[in-house]
């Protein structure tokens, strides 16, 4: 069904209508097009849907449980004890809750670093949840036993591999897994620190870097690391709120930008961070201004939560921009109708939050309208997940 978003303002501040046809952005510009459905966007900002490039969706029921956890403590309490308590049914509920929280916050695409894919039945639970939720997702399975199944996913939900990688595992294993991912056409995602003694130079020398690969965090990134990653088009996603909260180290956003790279953003874990990209954008802006000693325009950070984040997870030609031909993943934001056009983009970064997400479209379908999710009941899902959260935190 054709849909017209009429009378809104773009992030540039310019007034424009957006025509959606067959789930695709057909036109952005002047009024005059006819459509079966019209959304009145008067007083609203029309923006690309946010792209969360790194999120452990299964942790949604554990929200807030790790405010003071160090990384080693997180491994024990969350990845060892809580994860082991999840049944396939739990994986379904947790993923559905995480998807609802993401959509409510204007996140239309997520890369799910899916530790919970511990069996085929767990995979079933996760994929069934995404089929219900209607969010665009890249499901990165943490077990290569599911690689062929991930490679067979098409449409709104596609697959990837979540790998231990050469910094935390054996080099030969990493090479073999990267080869499998390339053979199947899957993005390979891994946590990485970087640093002068890290594996980035070795991966580069072996010809393993490139846009088929996504590194997350890279807090110890050196100038040489940054140059290698930027030069090969390797995806980099940072999660600045969690990295600062847990003491991973300073975000490499500015270091990567200095080498010509463009980071994407992620929320990472709900145990100690909010499930939206507004706070990661603000954290990135504050640190970037401090480290660069400039008043970098606030609005430039929006790219890290949209186009650059999409590119880092292999969806740069699919989503992340209000461009004809991209899929119609769109958010309408309220609260800025009083501002002149040139102030809009910066205000989205510095002043808005999930409560200002008015309407959300994924693939041309309205999933949130006038401040309410259309198909998912977020309060009900949170209530249903209370027992799971308590049980998982207790270890079963």
Can you tell me the distance from the alpha carbon of 118 to that of 149, in angstroms, rounded to the nearest whole number? 14
pLDDT at 35 (0 to 100)? 77
Structure tokens at 133: 């939720």
Q: What is the pLDDT of residues 227-244, one digit of tens each?
A: 999 999 999 999 999 999
Would you list the domain boundaries of the chain?
Answer: 3-48+319-376, 50-312
Which position has the token pair 């088929």? 212
- The answer to whether residues 231 and 201 touch, using CB atoms and an 8 Å cutoff, is no
What is residue 117's predicted lDDT score, i.e. its pLDDT?
96
**3-48+319-376: CATH class:** mainly beta
**pLDDT recorded at residue 188:** 98
How far is Cα 77 from Cα 80, in angstroms, rounded to an integer? 6
Q: Which residues pair with 190 in a beta bridge?
A: 163, 215
Give CA–CA dist 283/127, Å, rounded: 32
pLDDT tens-place string over residues 243-298: 999 999 999 999 999 999 999 999 999 999 999 999 999 999 999 999 999 999 99
Cβ-proximal residues to 348 (8 Å cutoff; 6+ apart), any chain:
11, 45, 47, 299, 302, 333, 336
Q: Which residue, chain included where needed, has tokens 């180290």?
A: 249
Q: Using alpha carbons, list the distances in angstroms from residue 99 to 80, 247, 254.
A: 23, 27, 30
Q: Name every residue whose Cβ is closer than 8 Å to that of residue 107 and which is 6 or more positions away in sequence.
A: 49, 50, 51, 52, 135, 276, 277
Q: What is the pLDDT of residue 23?
A: 97
Which residues, including other chains, have CB under 8 Å from residue 179's CB and lie 6 or more apart? none
Query: For the chain, which residues score pLDDT lower than 70?
Result: 1, 31-33
Superfamily of domain 50-312: Metal-dependent hydrolases (3.20.20.140)
| DSSP classification of residue 82 | I
Instruction: Give me the pLDDT at residue 32, please.
Output: 63
DSSP-assigned states of every residue in 35-54: -SEEEE-TT-EEEEPEEEEE
Q: What does DSSP assign to residue 175?
A: H
Residue 255: per-residue pLDDT: 97
Q: What is the pLDDT of residue 30?
A: 73
pLDDT value for 396: 78
How far is Cα 82 from Cα 361, in angstroms, rounded to an integer?
33
> In this structure, are residues 110 and 103 in contact, taking their beta carbons and an 8 Å threshold?
no
pLDDT at 108: 99
Q: Is 145 helix (H, G, I), strand (E, B) or coil?
A: helix
Task: Match 């004890």 to its residue by tokens.
Answer: 81
């Amino acid at each position: 069904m054709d849909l017209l978003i009429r009378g809104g303002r773009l992030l540039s501040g310019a007034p424009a209508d957006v025509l959606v046809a067959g789930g695709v952005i057909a036109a952005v510009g002047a009024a005059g097009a006819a459509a079966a459905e019209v959304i009145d966007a008067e007083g609203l900002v029309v923006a690309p849907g946010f792209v969360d490039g790194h999120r452990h969706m299964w942790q949604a029921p554990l929200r807030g449980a790790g405010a003071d956890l160090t990384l080693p403590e997180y491994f024990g309490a969350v990845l060892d004890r809580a994860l082991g308590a999840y049944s396939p049914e739990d994986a379904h509920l947790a993923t559905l809750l995480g998807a609802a929280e993401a959509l409510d916050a204007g996140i239309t695409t997520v890369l799910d670093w899916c530790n919970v894919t511990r069996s085929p039945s767990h995979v079933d639970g996760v994929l069934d949840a995404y089929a219900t939720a209607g969010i665009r997702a890249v499901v990165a399975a943490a077990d290569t036993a599911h690689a062929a199944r991930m490679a067979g996913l098409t449409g709104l939900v596609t697959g990837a591999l979540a790998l231990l990688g050469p910094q935390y595992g054996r080099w030969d294993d990493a090479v073999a897994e990267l080869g499998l991912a390339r053979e199947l056409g899957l993005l390979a995602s891994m946590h990485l620190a970087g640093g002068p003694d890290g594996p980035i130079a070795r991966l580069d020398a072996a010809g393993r870097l490139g846009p088929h690969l996504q590194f997350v965090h890279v807090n110890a990134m050196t100038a040489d690391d940054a140059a290698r990653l930027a030069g090969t088009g390797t995806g980099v996603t940072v999660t600045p709120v969690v990295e600062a909260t847990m003491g991973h180290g300073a975000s490499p956003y500015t270091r990567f930008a200095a080498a010509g790279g463009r980071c994407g953003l992620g929320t990472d874990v709900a145990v100690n961070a909010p499930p939206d990209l507004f706070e990661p954008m603000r954290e990135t802006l504050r640190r970037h201004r401090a480290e660069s000693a400039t008043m970098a325009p606030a609005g430039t950070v929006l790219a890290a939560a949209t186009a650059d984040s999409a590119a880092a997870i292999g969806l740069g030609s699919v989503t992340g921009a209000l461009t004809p031909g991209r899929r119609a993943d769109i958010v309408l934001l309220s609260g800025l109708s009083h501002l002149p056009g040139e102030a809009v983009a910066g205000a989205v970064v510095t002043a808005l939050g999930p409560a200002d997400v008015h309407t959300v479209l994924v693939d041309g379908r309205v999933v949130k309208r006038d401040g309410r999710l259309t198909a998912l009941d977020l309060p009900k899902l949170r209530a249903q997940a209370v027992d799971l959260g308590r049980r998982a935190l207790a270890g079963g």
